Amino acid sequence: MGLECRIVVTQKVDGAELGMYDPVSGRYEPLGTHPREALDSAIEGLKISIERAGHKLTFCERSIR
């Protein structure tokens, strides 16, 4: 199997930020902020892309208040 790609969902008051985290290098790459109603669609698109590339997919969620 390929690399591990972790989708990080950071819940904010006005939506959520999506990002990718590489646990091997410790690098975090922000992918943009999305309104709550578009979040599922954005995550699904990332999931499909990552799995097609042959990578292992994991998720992490956090909140900023």
pLDDT 10s digits, 14-62:
889 999 998 888 999 999 999 989 999 999 999 999 899 999 999 999 8
What pLDDT, on the 0 to 100 scale, is given for residue 7?
Answer: 94
**Token digits of residue 58:** 């994991």
**pTM: predicted TM-score of the whole model, two decimal places:** 0.80
